[in-house]
Amino acid sequence: MIIDIHGHYTTAPKALEAWRNRQIAGITSPAQMPKASELSISDDELRESIESNQLRLMRERGLDVTIFSPRASFMAHHIGHFQVSSAWAAICNELCYRVSRLFPDHFVPAAMLPQSPGVDPATSVPELVRCVEEYGNVAINLNPDPSGGHWNSPPLSDRHWYPIYEKMVEYDIPAMIHVSTSCNPCFHTTGAHYLNADTTAFMQCLTSDLFKDFPTLRLVIPHGGGAVPYHWGRFRGLAQEMKKPKLSDHLLNNVFFDTCVYHQPGIDLLARVIPVDNILFASEMIGAVRGLDPETGHYFDDTRRYIEAAQIDAEQRHKIYELNARRVYPRLDVALKAKGR
């Protein structure tokens, strides 16, 4: 089985974006603020948006299951206040849940949180609870910078975030550390902000003792870990100078990397540097890079091809494709086993 742990609902029907635009307008003109009930998307529309896009590509590429969360760049936690994020997160999470019910063999939901700049992360816990308890979500996406590129929240190691971690540990669910749209003109969203956030989050973990407080907390760093595997020697050396334990002991029981790296040399480096138990298959399709690579004739984000070509053996590939995901996302494993998979 091949599990893609990093898919977003980037192809939702246009009505979703139209509702969001009305909501944004409603921030300054409260009379125009739409109700959640004013968004109407039929099951047929959901089916069509998935079957012609993600599911079509999953079938073409031989992928079985996708962990599916709301579109990352549309989370835009910087927009409006907590109630705005709360209504938006509820709608987006419900859509991913509905997709998971329409295609129960192929999609398992993960939740976005109603984060908002300067607001206590504890306010996100009720939505997290709802998504796990009622919607069967197996993970969350946690935005380390709800400001969208101004980086004015505390580091992930700060107690600020502990209410989220406590609930994650209770439910035994991991978080993917994933920022959203950059509203800082210095940072291109998918070309800089995403990768910077990955590197930043890893370093926040490295300099801290977060996993002493939460030994079972699991964080997934997407986009192949940003700059981390490429600079693994630098990180090993920095940890050594800080008198931290070896990275394998200090972080690798708790930190995992996905395979959203869109060329063969990058995946080869990842597989060479990072222990195979810490690598989880993912593509983030249909996402930031949708084109065909003229050097290969295949889609940049068809990451399975790179894993197939990597110098690893069948058992290692099995871990990357399936076993690691079952271990890092135990609720996914339970859901699959309940179906005899």
Give the binding site for a second copy (CB under 8 A): 144-145, 149-151, 153-155, 184-188, 190-192, 195-196, 199-200, 203-204, 206-207, 223-224, 226-227, 229-238, 240-241, 261-266, 268-269, 272-273, 288-291, 293-295, 300-301
CB of 93 to a second copy, least distance (A): 27
What tokens were used for 66? 């996708």
Backbone φ and ψ for 272, nearest 5 degrees, come out as -80, -30
CB of 211 to a second copy, least distance (A): 17
Would you say 103 or 194 has its CB closer to a second copy?
194
Active site residues: 284
What tokens were used for 284? 């983030």
Alpha-carbon distance values, 223 to 21, 262, 283 (Å): 28, 9, 9
CB of 226 to a second copy, least distance (A): 5
d(CA 235, CA 239): 6
Decide: 248 and 274 in contact? Cβ < 8 Å: no
Would you say 27 or 208 has its CB closer to a second copy?
208
CB of 47 to a second copy, least distance (A): 27
CB of 72 to a second copy, least distance (A): 15
Given CA atoms 180, 166, 105, 257 in this order, what sign does their dihedral have?
positive
Count CA atoms closer than 13 A to 273's CA, side-chain side.
22
Backbone φ and ψ for 8, nearest 5 degrees, come out as -120, 155
Name the strands in the sheet holding 255-258, side by side, starting at the edge strand that comes first in the sequence: 140-142, 175-177, 219-221, 255-258, 279-280
- Reported residue count of the chain is 341
Decide: 128 and 111 in contact? Cβ < 8 Å: yes
Would you say 26 or 155 has its CB closer to a second copy?
155
Per the DSSP assignment, residues forming a β-bridge with 177 are: 142
d(CA 326, CA 319): 9
Would you say 141 or 204 has its CB closer to a second copy?
204
Tell me the one-letter amino acid at 284: E
Would you say 204 or 324 has its CB closer to a second copy?
204
d(CA 310, CA 313): 9
Given CA atoms 5, 69, 219, 164 in this order, what sign does their dihedral have?
negative
Comparing CA positions, the residue from 61, 21, 63, 18 lying closest to residue 41 is 18
Would you say 156 or 168 has its CB closer to a second copy?
156
CB of 286 to a second copy, least distance (A): 12
